[in-house]
Amino acid sequence: MLVVSDLHAGYGLSEVLVGTSLEVKAGTVVALIGANGAGKTTTMRAISGLVRPSKGSVLLDGQPVQGLAPSRIARLGLAHSPEGRKVFGPLSVEDNLLLGAYRRLPRFIGFRAQAGRDLDRVYGLFPRLGERKRQQAGTLSGGEQQMLAIGRALMAAPKVMLLDEPSMGLAPVIVQEVFRTIQRLKQEGMTMLLVEQFAKTALTVADYAYVMERGRVAVEGPPAELRKNERVLAAYLG
């Protein structure tokens, strides 16, 4: 579903990614782990278009999307829940969710009705969001914002979902809840690429994982193999 080949990207003169390649097969969860500064988030941003790759390709369902504007890539079926969640603070929970489905809904009237079923599904998955439909997203707790970000990505009915550091800044209990949700989505067949700082937790949900080091993939394999791999630990703590 998502094939990344030899991706090079960076900010200004600094090249962060120097040839990253990975693949996310349909219906699977792939984890992207590695130390800070290894380039995980940059990889996500290069896939979703927030950063323009200087070399390499990104194929979304067979279609090349590298170099396109992020809004275009989103409309082609990629949903990215970014690092730091980035919910629309001044807007309500429900508005945030509606905007998640922007590409599929009418712009002026009738959008609420058409989104009804998708909204119900998200509220079913995240009852706490349902309780806080009208609340300003900026006033939600960190965990609730993460739920909202995932819900927003779901509303897009995407072909692939990118989750960037969903556990960041969250208490362990909430992190567990988030990952339980990710498990559920996996069971429902959602294709996901997951970046996580907490390697162990990411490996519990992933079907396959890539370990990044200094801008490229150093090790890859199914979680069982990686857990036994000394190099994985080395990638984090030197």
Partner 1 sequence: MTISIIAQMAVSGALMGLVYALIAYGFQLTYATSKSINFGQGELVMVSAFFSLTLITLGLPYWLVVPGGLLFGAGLGLFVERAGVRLALEQKSEGWILLTIILGLFLFSVAENVWGRDDRPFPTPISQQPIQVLGVDVTPVELSVAIGVFAIMGVIEVFKRQTLLGKAFEAVSADRDAGELMGISATHTVMLSYALSGVVAAVAGILVSPITTVGPTMASALVLKAFSVAVVAGLESGFGVVVVGMFLGALESIASFSLGSGWREVPGLVLLILALAVRPTGVFGKATIRKV
Partner 2 sequence: MWKRLLLIRGAELLMFAVLAAVPLAVQNPYALGLLTLLAIYGILLIGLDVTVGYLGQVNLAQAAFLGLGAYTAGLCVTKLGWGMPLATVAAIAVCTVLGGLLALPALRLEGPQFALATLSFTALTVTALNELESLTGGAQGLSLTRPPLLGHVLGANEFYWLCMALLAVVWVAMRNLLASQWGRAFEALRDSPIATDAMGMGTYRHKVAAFALGSALGGLAGALYAFNFQYLQPQSFVYELTVILLLGVVLGGRKSLWGAFVGASLVALLPNLLSNRTLFQVISGLGFLLSLLAGIRGLVRKTIPPFQAIAPILATGVLVGGGLLVANTEDWRKAIFALMLFSVVVGLPEGLMGFASRFLSRLFRIPDPPLPAPSPLDEVLPATPVKSGTPLLELRDLRRYFGGVKALDGVSMTVLAGQIHGLIGPNGSGKSTLVNVVSGLYAPTAGEMLLRGQPLPRGSLFRTAQAGVARTFQNLQLFTGLSAIENVMAALRGAYRRSRSMPLVLLGLGRIEEKRAQAHALALLEFVGLGHEARTPAKDLTYGAQRFLEIARAVARRPQILILDEPAAGLSHPDMHRQMEIIERVHQRGVTIVLIEHHMDVVSGLCNVVTVLDGGKLIAEGTPVDVKRHPKVIEAYLGEVEPGPVEEVAPAAPATS
Rounded distance between C-alpha atoms, residue 138 and residue 152, angstroms? 14
Task: Pick between residue 17 and residue 149 the one whose CB is nearest to partner 1.
Answer: 149
Q: Does 173 bind partner 2 (CB under 8 A)?
A: no
Q: Which region among 56-64, 113-121, 122-130, 166-174 touches partner 2 (by CB under 8 A)?
A: 166-174
Q: Does 76 bind partner 2 (CB under 8 A)?
A: no
Expressed in percent and rounded to 5, the helix, strand and coil fractions of the chain are 40, 25, 30
Q: Which residue among 61, 121, 197, 220 contacts partner 2 (CB under 8 A)?
A: 197
Cβ contact 167:201 at 8 Å = yes
Q: Which residue among 16, 74, 119, 195 contacts partner 2 (CB under 8 A)?
A: 16
The CB-of-13 to partner 1 minimum distance in angstroms stands at 15
The footprint of partner 1 (CB under 8 A) covers: 48-50, 69-72, 74-75, 79-80, 82, 86-91, 95, 98-100, 102-103, 105-109, 111, 152, 156
Residues 146 to 165 in contact with partner 2, rule: CB under 8 A: 165
The CB-of-137 to partner 1 minimum distance in angstroms stands at 9
The CB-of-167 to partner 2 minimum distance in angstroms stands at 8
The CB-of-129 to partner 2 minimum distance in angstroms stands at 21
The CB-of-20 to partner 2 minimum distance in angstroms stands at 15
Which among 139, 177, 148, 161 has a CA at the least distance from the CA of 79? Answer: 161
Rounded distance between C-alpha atoms, residue 227 and residue 235, angstroms? 13
Buried residues in 56-91 as b, exposed as e (16+ CB within 10 A): bebebeeeebbebebeebbebbbbbbbbebebeeee
Task: Pick between residue 88 and residue 198 the one whose CB is nearest to partner 2.
Answer: 198
Indicate the burial class of 212 (C-beta count within 10 angstroms; 0-12, 13-18, 19 or more). buried
Q: Which region among 12-20, 59-67, 70-78, 151-159 touches partner 2 (by CB under 8 A)?
A: 12-20
Cβ contact 216:20 at 8 Å = yes
Residue carrying structure tokens 């498990």:
183
Return all residues near 22 (Cβ < 8 A) that are at least 6 apart. Answer: 4, 30, 32, 43, 193, 210, 217, 220
**Residue 82 binding partner per list partner 2, partner 1, none, with a CB distance cut-off of 5 to 8 Å that depends on partner kind:** partner 1
Task: Pick between residue 94 and residue 213 the one whose CB is nearest to partner 1.
Answer: 94
Residue carrying structure tokens 């990710």:
182
